[in-house]
Amino acid sequence: MASPKVAVYTLGCKVNQNETEAMAGLFKKAGYEEVDFHQEADVYIINTCSVTHLADRKSRQMIRRAIKTNPDALVAVTGCYAQTAPGEVLNIPGVDLIVGTSERNRIVELVNEARLAEAPVNAVKDIMKISDFEEIAEEEAEPHRVRAYLKIQEGCNRYCSYCIIPYSRGPIRSRPIENVVNAAQRLVEMGYKEIVLTGIHTGAYGTESGNADLAVLIRRLLEIEDLKRLRISSIDPNEVNEELLDLMAGSEVLCRHLHIPLQSGDDRVLERMNRVYTTDDYENLVGEIRTRIPGIAITSDIMVGFPGETEEEFQHTLVFTEKIGFSALHVFKYSPRRGTPAAGFPKQVDWKIKEERSKELISLGRRLSAKYAETNIGKVFSVLVEQETKIKDAFFWEGHTDNYLKVVFPFEKDLRGSFTKVFLGRYSDGVVYGQHVSID
Ligand code: 5AD
């Protein structure tokens, strides 16, 4: 008999990507074959996102697409949208199982239960009552990439006034340090060259018990032999400490890249957002980071159209963004999320204004990315080759430098997974075009 087929789709963040891969791994271990999401499968897993209303909408679209591709398939919906709006998900005819942001380690079992059930199964739990980190054995996943996302932490206690994630992910809980180190060790043994530490609030690692923090964890991970690259996915301004900078300054393995969400370049807006730093704090921090780690890539998330954001406040964001000179920006249009304080704030901003502000900030972000890339042109960098890519009918190898420049270069032989010295030639449209120098 042919093996049953599972197809997965991920929306949103790197934590979701990690969890989807881990779930796919569990299905494969149970004898399933993984197929492309656009193909006919017996089971579809849609791992949803709810960070904005657009993410909700996209999640619903992908659920409908799975149902359409194979109306007889078992369709299971999981993730943040499933957790925060189970009713909306169950209202979509054809959904058979809904699992929130817990119990994903039981996904295969839950799918089997749902198969026998008469009606759609709702397995969403009260996430606020969960206090343990749920391990999903991601090491079961087959290595099909060069870079692995390793989840070290779950949940958030910060409650920024705009954000739904503390409600969808629950309180902070960290993966025990020995388990993280063991998981990283296994990923390295499986052949992964780069590990990206991910979490919902990565910088809060270890703080609920006080037994460890992110720097302590990283110090341990850097002891792993054959770990070639370690990257931190995202960290809040007040969590970048001396110890972390010491590690980054002293290690070839810990990548010179920090994603530090700014959210706004105006102090009044930051206060209304319940962020706990000022633009001065942010600027001083970036100054210190750059002194300690020359050439580092600093990237950020910025939101436009937060309730009450005036033209003047938005201008402050533009000026501040330019002053900091990020190497890349993710721009978000504020989206009111049910149950969050900001959704009830006065002076909600028109969508059209959000779109205009977003366009302006995105275009500034592009200019800053080009400027940052230019400072690296003419030098030779070690590039970790991730995949082959086609640009205007020509094939290139594609990878990233440690400071997160996307580099493409032509070469005849398969270089996937290798570290290659590349001369950076020119920057165009978010990509650096280079020439192969030698293999490390
Ligand atoms: N609307 C728009 N963007 C949001 N983000 C979080 N909540 C919202 C919201 N309600 C953005 C923040 C965060 C990123 C992951 O998503 O910029 O850093």
In the chain, what are the domain boundaries? 5-129, 147-374, 380-439
For the segment(s) 380-439, the CATH number from 2.40.50, 3.40.50, 2.60.40, 2.30.280 is 2.40.50
263 lines ligand 1 (CB under 6 A): yes
Bridge partners, residue 151, by sequence: 198
**Are 5-129 and 147-374 in the same CATH fold?**
no
Q: Are 202 and 233 in contact (CB under 8 A)?
A: yes
DSSP labels, 368-400: HHHHHHHTTTTSEEEEEEEEEEEETTEEEEEEE
Sheet order of strands, 229-232 included: 147-151, 194-198, 229-232
| Per-residue model confidence (pLDDT) at position 210 | 86
51 lines ligand 1 (CB under 6 A): yes
| Per-residue model confidence (pLDDT) at position 143 | 54
Q: Report the candidate in 158, 168, 167, 151 with the shortest Cα–Cα distance to residue 237.
A: 158
Q: How many residues does the chain have?
A: 440
Q: Which atom of ligand 1 is nearest to 162's Cα?
A: 10
Instruction: Report how far ligand 1's centroid is from the alpha carbon of 393 (Å).
Output: 36
306 lines ligand 1 (CB under 6 A): no
d(CA 48, CA 102) in angstroms, rounded, equals 13
Backbone angles phi, psi at 177, to 5 degrees: -55, -40
d(CA 324, CA 288) in angstroms, rounded, equals 12
d(CA 419, CA 403) in angstroms, rounded, equals 14
Q: Residue whose CA is closest, atom 18 of ligand 1? A: 301
332 lines ligand 1 (CB under 6 A): yes
d(CA 152, CA 206) in angstroms, rounded, equals 9
Q: Which atom of ligand 1 is nearest to 332's Cα?
A: 3
Q: pLDDT tens, 314-333? A: 999 999 999 999 999 999 99
Bridge partners, residue 395, by sequence: 390
Fold of 5-129: Rossmann fold (3.40.50)
Parts of the chain with a pLDDT under 50: none
| Per-residue model confidence (pLDDT) at position 89 | 98
CATH 3.80.30.20 at 147-374, yes or no: yes
| Per-residue model confidence (pLDDT) at position 440 | 81
Of 15, 16, 163, the one to substitute when testing ligand 1's pocket (max ligand atoms within 8 A of C-beta) is 163
Which phi-psi region, left, alpha or beta, contains residue 191 (left: φ > 0; alpha: ψ -120 to 50)? Answer: left
Q: Report the candidate in 261, 268, 303, 296 with the shortest Cα–Cα distance to residue 282.
A: 261
Q: Which atom of ligand 1 is nearest to 340's Cα?
A: 10
Q: Residue whose CA is closest, atom 7 of ligand 1? A: 163
Q: pLDDT tens, 119-158? A: 999 999 999 999 899 998 765 555 557 999 999 999 999 9
| Per-residue model confidence (pLDDT) at position 1 | 75
Tell me the C-alpha to C-alpha distance, in Å, between residue 204 and each of 183, 207, 427.
19, 6, 36
d(CA 173, CA 13) in angstroms, rounded, equals 18
